[in-house]
Structure 1
Amino acid sequence: MTLNDSALLERFSRGELSEFPHLDHVRVVYLHTRRAGRDAAVEFARAGLQRLTRQLGVPEKYHETVTVAWARLVGERTEIGPCRDFAEFLDHNPQFQRKELLDDYYSREVLFGPDARARFVEPDLRPLP
């Protein structure tokens, strides 16, 4: 079952999702950026993913650098090229369908190093917008 935009944001914010696939991550940031701006969307993603991983009993899966980097990338493209809806956004930004997109910005050693999980680490290959 695909949730409508409002339901997805609400259930995400309360940590009430039993699954959260990659494109739902992207969609949440896209939607919240449209509602409140990029900086607010980064904070929304951070708080929501921390809550969700706790609710699912896997708080160790939360990764600060992955969360913030993805939110910054999606938020930036959302603000630059507003689209009618998420489907159009993905049509204009197919790179966000690639789960390994952060490999363009981070070496594996930096992204999956001990510091990057606990705190945001800037990329070592190319800067984020």
Structure 2
Amino acid sequence: MTMDDKTFLERFSRGELSEFPHLDHVRVVYLHTRATDRDTAVELTRTGLRLLTHRLGVPEKFHETVTVAWARLVGERAAVEPCRDFTSFLEHHPRFRRKDLLGDYYSGEVLFSAEARARFVEPDLRPLA
């Protein structure tokens, strides 16, 4: 059974989730954007992911560029077309199901560089917005 949105965000924010698959990343940004604004959603997502990866014992999995790029892409759509709920949002924006979506914007060389892991790097193939 899926957690309700409020519980999900609370547990994410406290780093209390035992797993965090791709669509949970998208859901976090979607929910934060609906509750606040795009910039705040990016910050809340970044802070929550850092805490979660630390608590799960895998802080090296945090990737600044991946986090910010996904937050910007999803947040932009969530702000403009919020839909009635996350399921509806995914139905309207099925591209966000693609784990490899950032490959449309970044070459592997740029996205998987040490620099991109440590700080946000703009895409080299096409702009995020």
Q: TM-score range by the shorter chain?
A: over 0.9
Scaled by the length of structure 1, the TM-score of the pair is: 0.98
**What is the Cα deviation at residue 108 of structure 1?**
0.2
CA distance, structure 1, for counterparts of residue 20 and residue 58 of structure 2: 13
Percent identity, aligned pairs only?
A: 74
- Segments of 5+ residues of structure 2 without an aligned counterpart are none
- Matched residues, number: 129
Distance, in Å, in 1 between the alignment partners of 2:57 and 2:116 is 21
Q: d(CA) in 1 for partners of 2:113 and 2:18?
A: 28
Deviations 1:42-84 (A, max 9, x none): 0011000000000001101100000000000000000111200
Q: Which amino acid letter does the alignment assign opposite residue 50 of structure 1? A: R
Q: TM-score, normalised by structure 2?
A: 0.98
The AA in structure 1 aligned to 2:102 is L
Shift of 1:32: 0.6
Q: CA–CA distance in 1 between the matches of 2:56 and 2:125?
A: 33
Counterparts of 1:63 and 1:25, CA distance in 2:
12
Which of structure 1's runs of 4+ aligned residues deviate more than 3 A?
Answer: none
Alignment of 1:46 onto 2:46:
yes
Amino acid at match of 1:40: T
SS across alignment from 2:83? coil
Aligned pairs for 1:65-76 within 5 A: 65-76=65-76
- Tell me the SS of whatever aligns to 2:68: helix
Paired residue type of 1:89: F
Separation in 2, partners of 1:69, 1:82: 19
Equivalent position of 1:94 in the other structure: 94
Question: Which residue pairs with 2:14 in the alignment?
Answer: 14
**TM-fit CA distance, 1:2:** 1.4
What amino acid is the match of 2:24? D
Extract unaligned runs of 5+ from structure 1: none
1:32 equivalent to 2:27? Answer no
Secondary structure of the 1:19 match is: coil
Question: For residues 52 and 36 of structure 2, what CA distance do their matches in structure 1 show?
Answer: 21
Following the alignment from structure 1 to structure 2, what is the Cα–Cα distance between the partners of residues 35 and 26?
Answer: 14
Letter in 1 for 2:118: A
